[in-house]
């Protein structure tokens, strides 16, 4: 019992670590999806570029939306942004902080996909094989332009009958892969340096504002969770009372005296406290509406 | 008892994460089912399209229905929808909320099936191999075959072992082309679904948050009320059985005592307690009446001490509260247990 309460409290207070965990899982899922995806370049002149760039950019967008969906805090932030002001002012710094932390976490899985794609090289080879300068490669230098386009488009397909033993194909492939990997490592390096600088230089600017924003964003998150918990408990007690009243009515109808009533009164006092005077549907609806339209001031 | 209450509370307040876990499992099951399925394209002109599209669309429909069947809340929704009005009105927004949340969860496994099928490419290759543009990719005029013959040859593209149209169009070229189209469709489908889900989720706080809070509360309430009622009935049945059996043995021992002049023993304490828990319902007819009445005429959502039903229903939204509301509600909103 204590154990459950402690786990509950841990998750409540450490929503950041839960979000980091989800972020990591999505990054791993992104890598797994890429390795299990069967990349098959069409090897046709105009289709290559569309396919290659599509595989590089469309899944990251889907992963980005997925990360936003799985992150509970994005919903909390939207609710905080759109709520009516009521008696509690809105602090834009808090909303900005929440937004930036959500976006940073949502960007991890797409960036992982793009980097893995570049380091692997297949996408770039597929997309840009037709754009290579044929003069640099012996096998393609002496063909007509149309033929060159057709041949270059087939470079990504190793098993194609025209390309099977073509050494120039391997040269083009290696060339493009080299560029792809260089691009991948450069992007990785730039991102890591940027993250490092952001982390180190942050305390130099507006640290106090940051601490406040972080505190109040945690507060909003916890407040939301506790409200839901309290609502659940309230509805449980409401149901309990409702059913007991139902049985009492039955007793009255069949005109038998219930000798349980005195004991119920004592238990009911403790539960009355927990019901907090909210004992009918209209009051509950009003409570929920008030909670939304006029959150209490801090 | 307190321990069960804590677990109950934890599951209830984390019902979303519990249901999300089930969705994840169904999604994985769907992907696993697809990889275990042995796809066998018939490689005949008209059958290919039927088979390919059938495998693409029929299993998702079955998975969608299965998602509803496996969801415990379906019977709760049906019960709430079909119950007589009685003293408690019906709120269509609560029913809509329950249906929408069930439908959203049931959609996940079909969407995963369709995505995996499209990204794999076998279905589309099988279904549309007769529609490959032979003029651009192969040599249509060169072969001199009739249209029907060409279709028959193209239909064999998915079956590499029996394919005999290398002069018409190379097998690898056609397969790569169809697979590229299939994968492009697959990723577009995935993007469309995630964008839709994101929009649905993020537009809700902008428009209907208050109504949403209300519907969510009352749908949880209906679920909890049903479970609590079942619990209480089970407890009642237990007490009923205890008292019944005790009375039987008392009856037996009274008969025996009458023949042997022994005084009947006093009922043990726990049976007295059980008798108290019976809430005054002590025979079958009364219990049947209680259960019938629970279904036909649920009590109003109004807990004030005068136990006479006052007819507040779901429809009555703006009932003035009996107690002075403001100070108590403030206490409720501020009270924190952390």
**Nearest residue in chain B measured CA to CA from A260:** B276
Number of Cβ atoms within 10 Å of the Cβ of A17 = 11
DSSP secondary-structure letter at B302? B
Classify residue A114: in a domain, yes or no. Answer: yes
Hey, is the C-beta of B202 within 8 angstroms of any chain A C-beta?
A: yes
Classify residue A275: in a domain, yes or no. Answer: no
Q: Residue A9: which domain range?
A: 1-205
- Per-residue pLDDT tens over the stretch A219-269: 888 888 888 888 888 888 888 888 888 777 777 765 554 344 444 444 445
Classify residue A195: in a domain, yes or no. Answer: yes
Classify residue A155: in a domain, yes or no. Answer: yes
Classify residue A45: in a domain, yes or no. Answer: yes
Confidence at residue A7, expressed as pLDDT on a 0 to 100 scale: 63
Hey, is the C-beta of A195 within 8 angstroms of any chain B C-beta?
A: no
Higher pLDDT, B219 or A7: B219
Hey, is the C-beta of A59 within 8 angstroms of any chain B C-beta?
A: yes
Q: Is the pLDDT of residue B205 over 90?
A: no
**Chain A residues within 8 A of B188 when measuring between CB atoms:** 58
| Mutate which: B329, B330, B331, B336, vs A, most A CBs within 10 A | B329
Q: Where do runs of H (alpha helix) occur along chain B?
A: 2-13, 15-36, 47-70, 73-82, 92-106, 108-120, 122-128, 134-137, 140-143, 147-154, 171-207, 209-260, 269-277, 284-296, 325-334
Q: Residue A243 and residue B220: Cβ atoms within 8 Å?
A: no
- pTM score, two decimals? 0.78
Classify residue A169: in a domain, yes or no. Answer: yes
Hey, is the C-beta of A160 within 8 angstroms of any chain B C-beta?
A: yes
Residue B90 exposed, middle or buried by CB count within 10 Å (0-12, 13-18, 19+): middle
| Mutate which: B28, B88, B166, B210, vs A, most A CBs within 10 A | B210
Q: Residue B10 and residue A4: Cβ atoms within 8 Å?
A: yes
CA–CA gap between residue B126 and residue B155 (Å, rounded): 8
| Mutate which: A26, A30, A42, A291, vs B, most B CBs within 10 A | A42
Task: Give A197 to chain B, closest Cα distance, Å.
Answer: 32
Instruction: Return mean pLDDT, chain A.
Output: 82
**Nearest residue in chain B measured CA to CA from A222:** B338
Q: Looking at residues B306-329, what average pLDDT do you find?
A: 41
CA–CA gap between residue A200 and residue A214 (Å, rounded): 17
Q: Residue A280 and residue B301: Cβ atoms within 8 Å?
A: yes
Classify residue A247: in a domain, yes or no. Answer: no
Nearest to B191 among A62, A222, A250 (CB): A62
Q: Residue A251 and residue B294: Cβ atoms within 8 Å?
A: no
Highest mean pLDDT pick, A38-52, B224-238, B269-283: A38-52
Classify residue A248: in a domain, yes or no. Answer: no
Number of domains making up chain A: 1
**Chain B residues within 8 A of A296 when measuring between CB atoms:** 330, 333-334
């Amino acid at each position: 019992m204590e154990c459950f309460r402690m786990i509950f409290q841990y998750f409540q207070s450490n929503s950041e670590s839960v979000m980091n965990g989800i972020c990591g899982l999505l990054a791993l899922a992104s890598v797994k999806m890429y390795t299990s995806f069967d990349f098959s370049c069409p090897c046709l002149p105009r289709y290559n570029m569309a396919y290659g760039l599509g595989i590089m950019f469309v899944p990251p967008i889907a992963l980005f939306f997925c990360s936003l969906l799985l992150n509970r805090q994005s919903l909390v932030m939207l609710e905080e942004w759109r709520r009516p002001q009521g008696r509690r002012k809105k602090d834009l710094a808090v909303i900005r902080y929440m937004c930036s932390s959500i976006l940073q976490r949502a960007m991890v899985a797409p960036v992982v996909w793009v980097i893995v794609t570049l380091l692997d090289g297949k996408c770039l080879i597929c997309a840009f094989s037709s754009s290579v300068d044929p003069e640099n490669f012996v096998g393609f230098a002496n063909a007509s332009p149309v033929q060159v386009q057709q041949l270059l488009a087939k470079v990504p397909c190793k098993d194609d009958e025209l390309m099977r033993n073509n050494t120039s194909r391997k040269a083009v492939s290696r060339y493009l892969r080299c560029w792809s990997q260089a691009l991948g490592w450069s992007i990785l390096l730039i991102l890591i340096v940027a993250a490092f600088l952001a982390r180190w230089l942050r305390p130099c600017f507006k640290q106090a504002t940051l601490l406040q924003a972080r505190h109040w964003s945690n507060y909003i998150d916890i407040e939301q969770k506790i409200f839901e918990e309290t609502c659940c408990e309230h509805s449980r007690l409401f149901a309990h009372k409702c059913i007991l009243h139902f049985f009492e009515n039955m007793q009255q109808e069949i005109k038998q005296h219930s000798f349980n009533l005195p004991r119920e009164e004592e238990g009911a006092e403790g539960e009355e406290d927990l019901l907090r005077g909210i004992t009918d549907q209209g009051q509950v609806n009003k409570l929920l509406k008030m909670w939304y339209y006029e959150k209490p001031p801090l | 008892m307190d321990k069960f209450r804590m677990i109950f509370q934890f599951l209830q307040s984390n019902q979303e994460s519990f249901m999300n876990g089930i969705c994840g499992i169904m999604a994985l099951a769907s992907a696993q089912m697809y990889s275990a399925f042995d796809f066998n394209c018939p490689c005949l002109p008209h059958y290919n399209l039927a088979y390919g599209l059938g495998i693409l669309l029929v299993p998702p429909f079955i998975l969608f229905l299965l998602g509803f069947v496996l969801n415990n809340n379906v019977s709760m929704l049906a019960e709430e929808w079909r119950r007589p009005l009685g003293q408690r009105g019906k709120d269509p927004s609560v029913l809509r909320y329950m249906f929408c949340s069930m439908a959203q969860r049931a959609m996940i496994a079909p969407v995963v099936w369709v995505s995996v099928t499209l990204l794999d490419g076998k279905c589309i290759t099988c279904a549309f191999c007769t529609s490959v543009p032979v003029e651009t990719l192969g040599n249509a005029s060169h072969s001199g075959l009739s249209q029907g013959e060409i279709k028959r040859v193209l239909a064999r593209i998915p079956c590499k072992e029996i394919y005999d149209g290398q002069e018409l169009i190379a097998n690898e070229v056609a397969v790569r082309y169809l697979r590229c189209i299939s994968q492009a469709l697959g990723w577009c489908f995935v993007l469309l679904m995630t964008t839709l889900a994101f929009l649905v989720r993020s537009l809700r706080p902008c428009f209907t948050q208050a109504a949403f809070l209300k519907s969510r509360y009352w749908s949880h309430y209906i679920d909890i009320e049903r479970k609590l009622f079942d619990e209480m009935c089970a407890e009642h049945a237990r007490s009923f059985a205890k008292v019944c059996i005790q009375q039987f043995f008392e009856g037996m021992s009274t008969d025996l005592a009458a023949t042997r002049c022994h005084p009947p023993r006093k009922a043990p304490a726990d049976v007295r307690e059980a008798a108290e828990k019976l809430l005054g319902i002590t025979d079958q007819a009364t219990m049947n009446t209680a259960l019938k009445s629970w279904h036909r005429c649920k009590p109003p959502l109004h807990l004030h001490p005068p136990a006479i039903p006052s007819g507040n229903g779901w429809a009555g939204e703006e009932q003035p509260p009996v107690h002075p509301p403001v100070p108590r509600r403030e206490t409720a909103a501020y009270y924190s247990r952390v």
